[in-house]
Amino acid sequence: MCWSATADLVAGSAIAAVGVACVVRAARTRPRALPLAALPLLLGAHQITEAVIWDDGGGRGPAVLVWAVIALPLLPLWVPAGVLCAAPPRARRRLALPLACGVVTGAALAYVLVTKTVTATIRGHTMAYAIGLPHAGWLIAGYLLATVGSLLLSGDAGLVLLGALVAVAAAVCAALWRWEFLSTWCACAAVCSVVLYAWTRRRRGQALSR
């Protein structure tokens, strides 16, 4: 999420471009990392979708639903699955837990999307989304374990760094969003995409083996 339609469009386009570079490089150096390397493409599409929501003034249009599908059920499935594919063999057993959390959390969030309506509202320099999540605390915990947890448990130095950055950035973004001052998630997505690009340049032998 960015603070305007223009910011979202520019950030989304730049992030998607980094995603293309990540996919091209991963295809040459570490094919098993392709799902994770494609993550910036998904994040870029997410930002561009929100640019449409800004132009629409929020509401309940198709763009809001697309945004919610990416943010809610898709990401907690995509991230742990991608990490599992890319992780060193010795780390894959412990990654079963984040992946299971992603499956359960993603399924629960998909059910919420089917049964409830997502609305978007402009609040200051942020875009607020409301859907009325049941058991929100458990869903947030499952979401974080699936996404941040899988990165931290990956056994790969670059992905562990990425997980730490995402954890810190999520806390900062949440605080700024609550104050309705500024949404900085697009900056976080951009930084994470650059870190992923640097990670795709590393050979498998450079991964941690613990």
CATH number at residue 89: 1.20.1070
Express each pLDDT in 163-190 by its tens digit.
Answer: 999 888 878 766 665 544 445 567 778 8
Spatial distance between the Cα atoms of 191 and 145, rounded to a whole number of angstroms: 21
Domain boundaries, position 193: 5-206
Q: What's the average model confidence in pLDDT over 60-80? A: 95
pTM comes to 0.89
Average pLDDT, integer, range 64-89: 95
Task: Supply the pLDDT for residue 29.
Answer: 84
What is the number of structural domains in the chain? 1
What is the pLDDT of the chain when averaged over all its residues? Answer: 88
pLDDT score recorded for residue 134 = 84
